[in-house]
Amino acid sequence: MECVIYEKKNRIAYITLNRPRALNALDRQLNTALWKVWADFSRDDSLEVAILTGAGRAFCSGADLNTVIPRWEKAGAADLRQNIRTGIGGGITRGQHWLRKPVIAAVNGIAVGGGFELALACDIRVMADDALFGVFEVRYGLHQGDGGIVRLAAIAGMGTALDLTLTGREVDAAEAYRLGLASRVVPGENLMATAEKYAAMIMGNGRRAVRSAKETILDTMGRSLDDALRIETVNAYSCLGDFTPE
């Protein structure tokens, strides 16, 4: 059985984590497969948006602790340096995080630990009403190391990042929406259709403008106001002329 299902339809890449018996936990095989998927999605000019979800009753339960913890308990400095280049989720959290095309997370079931980090690395999160987030790493003597702290603070603010990270508590879909961690919360049966509606809205806009806007948002984070304004104006005015109404 393939650990990732990768389908292309109507300019959308459908990416499904496919380890349902392990609640789609991220092991080395799944991370390697996802790396290839994200690289192909980036190169394929026929694709404009990706929708990421999980098979079965979970989005992603995080790193596969049976393989990850033993690996890092025995890791040396060279292993740590190599890890900087790759991250988890096939590099979407770190390594291929400069992906210019939008990615929508259709969060079904739990997205905890590394699964929460994976969802945060997506650009838009749509949640089923029974889904939940959680920084579960702290329950195992770890904390986020693949963009979870950085993105959580950027998306929801330092107070929320401290709250969720230090407590390791569950966050249901209603609270996730209130905290700005989810764009929409819908019944599970409407999850994929809602994600596709977001994809359609994105694809109805100028392709170059969408990609430039995402790049600009990522590139201006943490910069001084003057630097951010310079980047915004250069990027905005250089993408003019791309839009042709359909």
For the question of residue 2 being annotated catalytic, the response is no
Residue type, 52: L
Catalytic residue among 137, 175, 189, 196: 137
170 among known catalytic residues: no
Q: Which of 120, 49, 57 is nearest to 87 (CA)?
A: 120
Name the residue with tokens 């991370």.
Answer: 31
Single out the catalytic residue among 7, 48, 73, 117: 117
Please report, for the chain, how many H helices and E strands are present, in that order.
10, 10
In one-letter notation, the amino acid at residue 180 is G
CA 124 to CA 122: how far, in whole Å? 6
Q: Nearest to residue 120, comparing CAs of 71, 171, 192?
A: 171
Task: At 99, list the tokens.
Answer: 């992906």
Please name which of 217, 210, 244, 211 lies closest in space to residue 232, comparing C-alpha atoms: 217
- Quick one: the chain helix, strand, coil %, rounded to 5? 50, 20, 35
Q: Measure the CA–CA gap between 71 and 39, rounded to whole angstroms.
A: 25
For the annotated catalytic residues, the residue numbers are 117, 137
